Every structure is written in C-alpha cells, then in structure tokens.
C-alpha cells in the first residue's frame, strides 16, 4: 500500500462563516487533536490549519477518504457537532492537487482578500505546531518548506501584495507616491476619529515625524498627543502649522468643512510648492473639495480612498493571474523532485550492493595473486569498477525516467526484488 | 564597417524599446531584465560603431549634425542606465528609448552630410565645444523625460483615479529629484559648450555672435534652462513648474535641431 499526500477541509469558498466559526480551534485544543489523530495510525503525517477563513487537514495516508473522515469527526466532536452537518462542504485534494492547493494557500492566492499577508504566518504557525507535536514527516516537511519559498517568490516577483486594500493603508501608499519615503515628513492630525488615528499610526510606522494633533477640546488633544507621542496644537491655530507639515489627516464630526481653500492658499506661499497632502476621513467632509485644485496640493476624501482601494483590488487580481502561473510552474518542479526522491534511495542501495560485491571479488582475486605489483592491483580495481559502472548505467537512467512518468514505485520494487536489496522504505 | 554596426545598434535599440514598452504595460521582471540587457548590448555596439567611425574618419565622429545626433542618443542611454540604478526607476527606459530610436532612425535616413570639414573647423577646440554641447543635450533628454513622467504622475494623483501609469511611475519626489539632477548635470556642459562655441566664432569669423540659426536657438534653450535653474535655486521652484520648464527647454532644443538641419548657417552640414 502506498501512502498519499492529501488536503481536506473547508474554506470561505465552500462554507459560510457560521460553519467555519464552529470548527475553528484554538492552539491548545489543536495540539490535542493532532496527537489524537496521529495516534490512530491512519495518517502517517498530519498538520491542521485553522483560521477564521479555513479549516484544513494536510496529511499523508493510505486512504485519504478514511483519514479525512477521522480527522474531521475528531474536529467536530470538539464542539459536539455532527460530521454529516458540514460534510457536503468539505473538499479533498489528492496528490498534485494537494501540492497546488498548499502552495496557493501559502501564497495567499486562495484568500478571501487575495494577497493579504496574514495567511503565510498562519500556515507557518500551523506547521510549527505540528512539528512540535512531531506529527509531520519528510513529505509534509518538504511540502511546507517549499510552500514558504514559493510564497516568498510570489511576493517578490509579482505585485500581488504591493497595493493596499484597506483605506488607511491606501492613504499611506498615496503619501508614498507623493513624497517617496515618509521619513521626516511632518503630520498634522485634526480631530479624534478612530480611522484618522489609525492612518496617523501607519504614517508613524513609516518614519513620519514630527506629529502634531489638534482637537476642538483641548484635553482631548492632549490625550491624543500622549497616545501618538505627538505635539498638541491649539484648535484655533492649526493653520499656523500648514507651512511646516506635509500631510494633514482630518477626521472630525464637524458638520461644516474645517479646512477652507482660501486658508490653505494663504499657507501655500511659505511652502514654496512643496507638496501638501490632505487625507480627509471625516463624513461629512472636513476639507473643502476645492483644495485639491491648488498647486502641489492633493486632497483625498473617504470616497476617493475607496476608489483607490477598488482599483488596487483590480490590480491585485491582475497580478494574481501571473502568480498562479508561477505557482503552477513550481508545483511541476516540486512534483518532479519528489518523484526523484522516490527512486534515489533505491539507486543508492543498488550502488552500495554492487560495490560490496565488487570489493569482495577484487579482494578474493588479489589473494590468489600475492605477487601482483601495485600496477596490476590498480588495473584490476579499475577494471572491476568500470564493469560495475557500465552495468549500473542503464538501470539508473531507467529508474529516474520511471519516477518522472509516475511509475517509480513499481520499478523500485522490481529492482529491490531482483537485487535482493533491503526492505527499508524510501524517504525515511 | 561602421554603417553595419550603427544599423545593428539601432536594431537593438528598437528591440529594447519594444521590450521596455512591453514592461511598462505588462510588467514582469523577466521582460525588464531582457529590456535592460538588450539596451546595454545596444549601447556597447553603438560605442563600438562610434569608435570605428572615428578611426575611419581620422577625427571624432561629431563633424555633422547627423553624427552629433547619434552621439546625443549614445550619451542619453548612458545617463539613463545610470539614473535607472540611482533612482530605482525601472520604467525610465520606456520613455527614453523611443526618443533614442527616433533619433537613430532619423540619423539613418538623413543624408550623412560632408565628410570633409571646412578648414576653419579643423581645430581641437571645436571638438571640445561639440562634445560638451552634446553631453549637455543628452542630460536634458533625461530632464525632459523626468518632467513628462512628473506631469503624468501628478495628473493621476490629482484625478484620483489610479490608471496603469500610477502603479508604474515612481513617486513625485523621486521624479522631481531626477529632473533636477539631470538639469544640474546638463547645464554646466551646455554652458561651457556654448561659451567655447562663441569664443571660437570670434576667432574664426571675428564676431562673437554671428547670425547662425543653430547658435541662436541653442542660446534660447540655454536661457530657458538658466531660468529654470535659477528659479529652482533661488525661488524654490519645484514640481509642476519645474517639469513644465523641462518640457519647454527640450522643445527649444528640438527647434535648435530643426534649425540646424533646415536653415543654412555656419553649422550647416
């Protein structure tokens, strides 16, 4: 019987949140389940990936169907669920499909938001957990290490994850398109909206400094200043800072625009056409739309930012096609390598076997020739070696070829029989 | 020998142009690498062609306007290869190479002009004058391209509808720095080149500024660049205004070339 790699599970593509949330398991429980499932012996290797968007079992088993049922029955039992309840939502991907699926998941091509970066960390976590439980063997180890490498390759060679798909990150990205780096760019935050604060934090992460904050109520401004390590500015005097700042974030609840075009225009002279970027997250808007018409001033309100996000999502989908092609190439390469590995141990033991025979026979022959000079001894040794190599050449080539065409196992078995090689299993 | 090399270089430039434009539309690292390699190969062949031509003529290959155009293209590619690395602007080739190709194709189509120079022009100083002017002009090719890219990117940002170019073009700040750097690189070359030319005119023809259409237009271009440079240095111009001036200055240079090719004058070929 030959063990096969498989992935089985459900994801946001097949199951509603109501089902996924019932199956999701925290780490401690997961450890227990992994050990239980592995102890049955049905799966020789197993790893469980449990996130809010997917619950998947990666395993190696003789009968994937049986292994799947076992693993998910155990997962369901956790919450007192019945397997039949969600079984129709389960998918099973055997062999090469499993490899493809694993690579796609790690590269975030199967995610709800394609290209989001969290999933790679989650897969790494699941793998580390399974490793610590000692439920992974050589095949899963090889699969996952390669999946991480492929994910990295996708990240560097395509722009799958390069464009922000959240409003606050989109604002940061726009700032970068204007200013290049954000190190040393000064930021003014007007108002105490949550989103504004988040955007300001992102900018600080990118090196923006110094940060000014202002608010209609002075104590609130002081409090925000503490949170953001910023300098509070009196609300009446915020426009004084216009000459010194590069990015202004507004998120107040004011019914009327706070930032007027005329006011900004007055502040522009001292800026000598250095760019000024308004991020207006307030609804109703805090910045007069006309501000965008001023030279070197860019003003994005919440709808503009959403539009950028939409366009970024389209851009990601376009990049995803490129990434899929890359992943498929990597799958083909991986499968070929695994097949090679299938026959390598046989080739090694075949060589060892013949080498042992050769050495024994050479020694025997030399015992019968006690007066042979070193030159003759060397010649006999070389002769025997080249005979062995010539004999081995074709079988080795054939073995490698057979592995690539998927018949490696039957060939290795025949070779084992023919040459009486050891019974040890490959890859161990 | 040299015509074949020039044709070969031109073919490679055309190929690199296609690849660079494909990279602009399609992206993909492989296409960029291919475009970059082909550009470098083209530039090496171009260099060889210029050297061989120089040996064949027994003088620098800068005696006629057509020859000078080729040298401008050559130096512009050199500056571009440098700037691509320096500023990490991978799409620069897609903007410069079409210009270089147009320059190359028109140089190939135009009559080569005189191979023998007037006795008045047989002097080492004249070569320094031409080389400096050509180096200056090729830096202004970069200045122009940077300005155009700036205006395109600024338009995208103002319109708030990110099109394909928004994703490809670098930040405004990078483009502004690139444009400024090209200006400060080209201006001393052009200034010195024109100065030497004027000095030469005085010794050869006895007047500092004889009427010559090419000289007149290049002086006009110089004025535009001088204004931009002082505007940037003194009044802190940057961004859009500087970009517009880069375009205007380049327009003046194109007029200069047109004047040199079409109107009779001392530079006539």
Chain B residues with CB under 8 Å of A312 CB are 162
- Produce one character per residue of A112-148: b if its CB has 16 or more CB atoms within 10 Å, e if not: eebbbeebbebbeebbebbeebebbbebbebbbebbb
CB contact under 8 A, B162 and A176: no
Which residue on chain B is closest to A270 by alpha carbon? B236
Distances from the Cα of B14 to the Cα of B11, B34, B36, B117, B125, angstroms: 5, 13, 13, 31, 34
CB contact under 8 A, B171 and A322: no
Q: B-contacting residues of A 251-310, CB under 8 Å?
A: 272-275, 292, 295-296, 298, 300, 304, 307-308
The reply to whether B267 falls in a domain is no
Count structural domains, chain B: 1
pLDDT > 90: percent of chain A: 59
Chain A residues with CB under 8 Å of B170 CB are 180
CB contact under 8 A, B162 and A178: no
Neighbours of A335 (CB within 10 A): 16
Q: Which of A272, A275, A317 to mutate to test the interface with B (most CBs of B within 10 A)?
A: A275
Which residue on chain B is closest to A305 by alpha carbon? B160
Residue identified by tokens 């970066």 is: A117
Which residue on chain B is closest to A153 by alpha carbon? B29
Which residue on chain B is closest to A299 by alpha carbon? B158
pLDDT > 70: percent of chain A: 98
Tens of each residue's pLDDT in chain B, 269 residues: 568 899 999 999 999 999 999 998 877 788 999 999 999 999 999 999 999 988 988 888 887 778 888 899 999 999 999 999 999 899 999 999 999 999 888 888 877 655 555 655 567 778 888 899 999 999 999 999 999 999 999 999 999 988 888 988 999 999 999 999 999 999 999 999 999 888 887 777 776 666 678 888 889 999 999 999 999 888 888 889 999 999 999 999 999 888 877 776 666 54
CB contact under 8 A, A295 and B239: yes
Q: What is the pLDDT of residue A49?
A: 95
Nearest to A275 among B27, B167, B172 (CB): B172
Helix runs in chain B, H state only: 2-26, 29-57, 65-87, 92-109, 124-159, 164-168, 172-205, 213-234, 239-262
Q: What is the pLDDT of residue A166?
A: 86
CB contact under 8 A, B157 and A177: yes
User: Chains A, B: CB contacts under 8 A, how many?
Assistant: 58
Q: What is the pLDDT of residue B202?
A: 79
List residues bridging with A278 in a β-sheet.
A248, A299
* Distance of alpha carbon A4 from alpha carbon B259, whole angstroms: 77
Q: Residue A45: in which H helix or E strand, if any?
A: strand A43-50
Q: Is the pLDDT of residue A298 over 90?
A: yes
Cβ neighbors of A417 (< 8 A, separation 6 or more) are: none
Identify the DSSP state of A243. G
Q: Which tens digits make up the pLDDT trace of A102-151?
A: 999 999 999 998 988 899 999 999 999 999 999 999 999 999 999 999 99
**Strand duo A54-61 + A4-11: pairing:** antiparallel
Q: What is the pLDDT of residue A1?
A: 42
The HSE-up count of residue B78 (CA atoms within 13 Å, CB side) is 16
Chain A residues with CB under 8 Å of B29 CB are 157
* Distance of alpha carbon A119 from alpha carbon A148, whole angstroms: 11
The reply to whether B138 falls in a domain is yes
**Strand duo A54-61 + A276-280: pairing:** unpaired
Q: With beta carbons less than 8 A apart as the criterion, state whether B146 and B238 touch.
A: no
Whole-prediction pTM = 0.79
List residues bridging with A287 in a β-sheet.
A259
CB contact under 8 A, A307 and B238: no
Find the domain containing B148 and state its range. Answer: 2-262
Which residue on chain A is closest to B172 by alpha carbon? A178
CB contact under 8 A, B236 and A273: yes
Q: Which tens digits make up the pLDDT trace of B183-209?
A: 999 999 999 999 988 888 777 777 666
Which residue segments constitute the domains of chain A, with CATH numbers given?
4-162 (3.30.460.30), 167-307 (3.40.50.720), 330-419 (no CATH)
- ipTM, two decimals, is 0.86
**Strand duo A211-214 + A187-190: pairing:** parallel
SS3 A298: strand
* Residues of A tagged active-site: 52
Cβ neighbors of A399 (< 8 A, separation 6 or more) are: A343, A346, A347, A408, A411, A412, A415
SS3 A388: helix
Q: Is the pLDDT of residue A428 over 60?
A: no
Tell me the nearest-neighbour CA distance from B20 into chain A, angstroms: 17
The reply to whether B269 falls in a domain is no
The reply to whether B175 falls in a domain is yes
Please calculate the CA angle A246-A251-A255 and round it to the nearest 5 degrees: 125
Tell me the nearest-neighbour CA distance from B240 into chain A, angstroms: 8
Specify whether the backbone of A238 is left (phi greater than 0), alpha (psi in -120 to 50) or beta.
alpha
List residues bridging with A299 in a β-sheet.
A278
Tell me the nearest-neighbour CA distance from A234 into chain B, angstroms: 30
Q: What is the pLDDT of residue B209?
A: 61
Chain A residues with CB under 8 Å of B238 CB are 272-274
């Amino acid at each position: 019987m030959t063990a096969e790699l498989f992935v089985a599970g459900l994801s946001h593509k097949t199951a509603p949140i109501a089902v996924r949330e019932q199956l999701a398991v925290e780490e401690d429980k997961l450890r227990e389940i992994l050990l239980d499932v592995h102890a049955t012996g049905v799966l020789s290797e197993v790893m469980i990936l449990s996130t809010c968007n997917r619950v998947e079992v990666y395993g190696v088993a003789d009968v994937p169907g049986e292994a799947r049922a076992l693993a998910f029955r155990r997962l369901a039992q956790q919450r007192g669920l019945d397997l039949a309840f969600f079984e129709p939502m389960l998918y099973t991907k055997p062999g090469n499909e499993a490899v493809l699926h694993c690579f796609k998941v790690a590269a975030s091509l199967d995610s709800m938001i394609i290209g989001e970066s969290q999933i790679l960390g989650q897969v790494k976590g699941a793998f580390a957990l399974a490793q610590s439980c000692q439920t992974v063997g050589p095949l899963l180890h090889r699969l996952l290490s390669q999946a991480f490498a492929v994910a990295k390759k996708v990240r560097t060679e395509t722009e799958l994850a390069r464009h922000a798909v959240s409003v606050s990150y989109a604002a940061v990205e726009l700032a970068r398109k204007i200013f290049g780096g954000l190190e040393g760019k000064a930021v003014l935050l007007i108002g105490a909206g949550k989103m504004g604060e988040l955007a300001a934090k992102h900018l600080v992460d990118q090196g923006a400094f110094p940060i000014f904050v202002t608010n209609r109520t002075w104590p609130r401004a002081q409090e925000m200043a503490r949170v953001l390590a910023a300098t509070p500015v009196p609300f009446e005097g915020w426009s004084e800072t216009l000459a010194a700042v590069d990015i202004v974030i507004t998120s107040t609840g004011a019914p009327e625009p706070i930032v007027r075009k005329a006011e900004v225009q007055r502040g522009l002279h001292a800026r000598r056409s250095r760019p000024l970027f308004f991020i207006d997250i307030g609804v109703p808007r805090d910045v007069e739309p006309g501000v965008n018409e001023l030279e070197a001033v860019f003003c994005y309100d919440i709808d503009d930012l959403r539009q950028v996000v939409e366009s970024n999502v389209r851009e990601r989908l376009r990049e995803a096609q490129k990434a899929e092609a890359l992943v498929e190439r990597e799958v083909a390469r991986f499968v070929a390598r695994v097949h090679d590995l299938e026959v390598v141990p046989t080739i090694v033991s075949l060589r060892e076997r013949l080498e042992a025979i050769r050495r024994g026979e050479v020694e025997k022959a030399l015992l019968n020739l006690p007066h042979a000079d070193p030159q003759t001894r060397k010649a006999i040794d070389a002769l025997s070696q080249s005979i062995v190599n010539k004999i081995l050449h074709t079988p080795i080539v054939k073995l490698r070829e057979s592995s690539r065409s998927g018949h490696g196992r039957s060939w290795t078995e025949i070779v084992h029989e023919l040459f009486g090689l050891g019974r040890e299993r490959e890859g161990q | 020998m040299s015509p074949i090399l020039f044709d070969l270089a031109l073919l490679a430039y055309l190929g690199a142009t296609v690849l660079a434009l494909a990279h602009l539309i399609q992206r993909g690292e492989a296409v960029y690498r291919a475009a970059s390699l082909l550009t470098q190969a083209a530039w090496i062949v171009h260099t060889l062609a210029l050297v061989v031509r120089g040996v064949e003529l027994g003088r620098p290959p800068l005696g006629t306007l057509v020859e000078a155009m080729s040298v401008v293209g050559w130096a512009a590619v050199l500056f571009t290869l440098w700037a691509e690395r320096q500023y990490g602007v991978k799409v620069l080739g897609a903007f410069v190479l079409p210009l270089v190709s147009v320059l190359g194709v028109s140089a190939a189509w135009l009559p080569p002009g005189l191979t023998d120079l007037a006795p008045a022009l047989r002097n080492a100083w004249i070569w320094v004058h031409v080389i400096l002017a050509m180096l200056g002009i090729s830096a202004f090719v970069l200045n122009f391209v940077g300005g155009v890219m700036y205006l395109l990117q600024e338009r995208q940002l103002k319109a708030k509808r990110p099109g394909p170019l928004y994703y490809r073009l670098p930040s405004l700040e990078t483009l502004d720095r690139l444009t400024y750097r090209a200006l400060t690189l080209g201006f001393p070359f052009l200034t010195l080149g024109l100065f030497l030319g004027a000095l030469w005119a005085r010794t050869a023809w006895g007047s500092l500024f004889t009427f010559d259409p090419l000289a007149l237009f290049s002086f006009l271009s110089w004025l535009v660049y001088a204004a931009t440079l002082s505007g940037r240095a003194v009044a802190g111009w940057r961004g859009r205004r500087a970009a517009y001036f880069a375009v205007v200055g380049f327009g003046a240079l194109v007029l200069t070339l047109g004047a040199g090719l079409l109107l009779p004058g001392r530079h006539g070929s």
